[in-house]
Amino acid sequence: MRRRVLATAFVAAASILVSAAGPASKLVVLVVVDQMRADYIDRFRGDWSSGLRRLVDRGAWFTRAAYPYLTTVTCAGHATIATGAYPHVHGVFSNTWFDRGRGAVTPCASDPGANAISYGGAGNSHTGPAALAIPTLADEMRAKGGHVVTLALKARSAIMMAGHGGDSVTWISESLDSWETSTAFAAGPNPVVKEIGRVHV
């Protein structure tokens, strides 16, 4: 099931980028694999072909990269990768935290001012980049006329990697039955994602 979802995600990303970018455009592909140990690249490199192998052989590979802080949970890590800043600067230090103003535990991608845009499910979440205090690499690319597409299994991953905007910022809904985005990124469904349709699980 995960392979099918990831394959669909990569096809969607490629389709969106091809439709949004002109022939002279350049492409940055950043793949973040949650909980993938650094030694897995050496261990499994011989088993990879095409996609991952090409990224390792021809892409930038930082062999001494490290997080000089605790803890390395998904949301904080994605925000750090996306911004190049530490959690005390970008504002995202965990997956959830207690928000005194709201009097509740708040997910890192919670955004009360944003509403879900669903591609077939209920779509009742309020997610967006409200907690992210600074621009991401994707934000800087957009400011220079670039196009940004993020696809992830979770909202927090897609949102933190995109930053404060994007051509298509898409994730699988909490109910696991459809793609979803947010009014923080779009006024309505992206036509390419909509064409792919519902996620079948």
Residues identified as active-site: 74
Cβ–Cβ < 8 Å for 21, 142: no
44 C-beta neighbours (distance < 10 Å), count? 13
What amino acid is encoded at 92 in this protein?
A: V
- Residue 42 three-state SS: helix
Q: Which of 79, 71, 94 is nearest to 159 (CA)?
A: 79
Instruction: Count Cβ atoms within 10 A of the Cβ of residue 94 and give its class: 0-12 exposed, 13-18 middle, 19 or more buried.
Output: middle
Contact (Cβ atoms closer than 8 angstroms) between residue 153 and residue 180: no
Quote the CA–CA distance of 110 and 54 in Å, as a whole number: 35
